């Protein structure tokens, strides 16, 4: 992605971005070897993205898309809160197709990251990862056509806060996360980011809540890209899931202390400095709230949906 950022409405900077691309840069800066696969045209934006990838030391496979333009976005950020709005444009010809990717693009990886923008090649890559016993992570912020075929394969899936409700029509995250897991009966752990309040994770038997880290945010652009990058690093370590989530959340929070999508990607040592003494956000859920749906979830079967079980649960409580 080719990203332009307007800080004060009187100056504009051109910076690199993109969900998977930024996550791979995060991994590289943490000391891992990283590889990115993308589709570009032979224009100024493409050359800029290529040079940024080279500068960061990320290995890249570029598929050419003639007679189109690279994806671009405009991301104005509020100077006080750091919150931003993203306006983007994507030429349909820039989309990846299954025939664009080759097995050697994804071979010999410790962890694979896919997003939901081009679902057919993402599903293909995730299937290859499973066959090779490679951990696969999916990061999804919206519903895209064919996404159900991608959800069947990853080991770990990260959702935006609004995604679970859109997918299940269930407004409670404590019910929608298990629902998605049962629906696709796969081996993943599901987590949803809660913006400044942290992240909520369902690991098939319990909920884990990692509160957010308090930082002086100036620009939240890229936080949702750096979080998966932190998780990829964590998955290469022999750590408990709680520590992996903490690392991911701290990395995303620190990035908000700098401008633009990759404004403050921090090294592991700096993340650890934040994680240990840092003040945390308020808890999005109290402990008892996390316990109640677990008992309900454990009773669910393939013959009844979590939503139906939730309705029965609500009726019993009302009675």
Taking all residues of the chain, what is their mean pLDDT, rounded to a whole number?
82
* Confidence band, pLDDT 50/70/90 cuts, at residue 319: very low
Whose CA is closest to 199, among 213, 220, 185, 180? Answer: 213
Q: Sort strands 59-64 and 156-159 into parallel, antiparallel or unpaired.
A: unpaired
* Confidence band, pLDDT 50/70/90 cuts, at residue 297: low
Phi then psi for 137, rounded to 5 degrees? -120, 135
E strand spans, 134-279: 135-140, 156-159, 189-193, 199-202, 207-210
pTM of the model: 0.82
> What pLDDT does 82 receive?
58
What are the structure tokens assigned to 234, written together? 């964590």
Quick one: average pLDDT of 289-308? 61
Q: What is the pLDDT of residues 95-141, one digit of tens each?
A: 899 999 999 998 889 999 999 889 999 999 999 998 999 999 999 98
Is residue 79 scored above 70 in pLDDT? Answer: no
What are the structure tokens assigned to 65, written together? 């898309």
Q: Which residue has the higher pLDDT, 14 or 272?
A: 272
d(CA 35, CA 110): 11
* Confidence band, pLDDT 50/70/90 cuts, at residue 303: very low
Using an 8 Å Cβ cutoff, are 150 and 126 in contact? yes
Non-local (6+) Cβ contacts of 76 within 8 A are 5, 6, 9, 84, 85
Using an 8 Å Cβ cutoff, are 159 and 191 in contact? yes
Is residue 291 scored above 60 in pLDDT? Answer: yes
> What pLDDT does 187 receive?
65
Phi then psi for 88, rounded to 5 degrees? -135, 160
* Confidence band, pLDDT 50/70/90 cuts, at residue 298: low
Give the count of alpha carbons within 13 A of 217, CB side only: 23
Is residue 158 scored above 90 in pLDDT? Answer: yes
Domains and their CATH numbers in the chain: 2-305 (3.40.1190.20)
> What pLDDT does 12 receive?
66
> What pLDDT does 172 receive?
92
Is residue 307 scored above 60 in pLDDT? Answer: no
Quick one: average pLDDT of 274-293? 86
> What pLDDT does 184 receive?
74
Q: What is the pLDDT of residues 13-67, one digit of tens each?
A: 777 778 899 999 999 998 999 999 988 887 888 888 899 999 999 999 999 888 7
Q: Which residue has the higher pLDDT, 221 or 78?
A: 221
Lowest-pLDDT range, 195-199, 216-220, 311-315?
A: 311-315
Which span out of 35-44, 88-97, 166-175 was modeled with the highest average pLDDT?
166-175
Non-local (6+) Cβ contacts of 225 within 8 A are 17, 18, 19, 20, 21, 22, 23, 26, 261
């Amino acid at each position: 992605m080719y990203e332009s950022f307007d800080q004060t409405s009187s100056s504009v900077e051109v910076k690199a971005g993109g969900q998977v691309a930024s996550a791979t840069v995060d991994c590289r800066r943490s000391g891992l070897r990283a590889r990115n696969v993308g589709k570009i045209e032979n224009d100024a934006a493409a050359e800029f993205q290529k040079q940024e990838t080279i500068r960061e030391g990320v290995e890249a496979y570029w598929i050419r898309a003639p007679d189109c333009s690279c994806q671009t976005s405009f991301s104005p950020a509020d100077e006080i809160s750091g919150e931003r709005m993203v306006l983007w444009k994507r030429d349909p010809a820039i989309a990846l197709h299954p025939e664009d990717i080759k097995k050697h693009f994804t071979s010999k990886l410790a962890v694979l990251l896919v997003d939901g923008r081009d679902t057919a090649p993402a599903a293909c890559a995730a299937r290859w990862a499973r066959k090779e016993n490679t951990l696969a992570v999916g990061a999804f912020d919206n519903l895209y056509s064919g996404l159900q075929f991608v959800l069947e394969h990853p080991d770990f899936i990260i959702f935006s806060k609004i995604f679970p409700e859109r997918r299940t029509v269930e407004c409670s995250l404590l019910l929608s996360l298990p629902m998605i897991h049962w629906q696709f009966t796969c081996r993943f752990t599901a987590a949803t980011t809660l913006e400044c309040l942290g992240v909520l994770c369902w690991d098939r038997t319990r909920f884990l809540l990692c509160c957010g880290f308090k930082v002086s945010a100036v620009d939240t652009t890229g936080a949702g890209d750096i979080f998966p990058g932190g998780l990829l690093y964590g998955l290469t370590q022999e750590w408990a899931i709680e520590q992996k989530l903490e690392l991911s959340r701290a990395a995303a929070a620190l990035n908000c202390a700098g401008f633009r999508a990759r404004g403050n990607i921090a090294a592991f040592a700096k993340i650890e400095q934040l994680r240990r003494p840092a003040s945390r956000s308020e808890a999005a859920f109290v402990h008892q709230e996390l316990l109640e749906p677990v008992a309900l979830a454990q009773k669910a079967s393939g013959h009844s949906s979590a939503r139906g079980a939730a309705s029965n649960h609500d009726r019993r409580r009302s009675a």
